[in-house]
Amino acid sequence: MIEWITQNALTLIVIAALVAVIASAVIVLIRDKKKHASSCGGKCSGCPYCKDCGKH
């Protein structure tokens, strides 16, 4: 088992880094959802989706 880990250490490190990045992105999305934050700038006058926005 230890031999397999040493042979694939770089792959395991890359996978762990990718999982950490994806997990942090999901956490940020969840926090923003709970705070009712959005990625738009809040300038509804120039937004083509102004009528469909939930901010009104």
Residue type, 37: A
Contact present, 52 and 46 (Cβ < 8 Å): no
- Give the whole-angstrom CA distance, residue 18 versus residue 13: 9
What is the 3-class SS of 8-22, one letter each residue? CHHHHHHHHHHHHHH
pLDDT for the residue numbered 38: 65
pLDDT for the residue numbered 42: 65
Backbone dihedral angles phi then psi of residue 4, each to the nearest 5 degrees: -65, -40
- Give the whole-angstrom CA distance, residue 11 versus residue 17: 10
Specify the pTM: 0.62
pLDDT digits (tens, 9 = 90+) for 1-56: 999 999 999 999 999 999 999 999 999 989 888 877 666 666 677 777 777 776 54
pLDDT for the residue numbered 4: 93
Backbone dihedral angles phi then psi of residue 17, each to the nearest 5 degrees: -65, -45
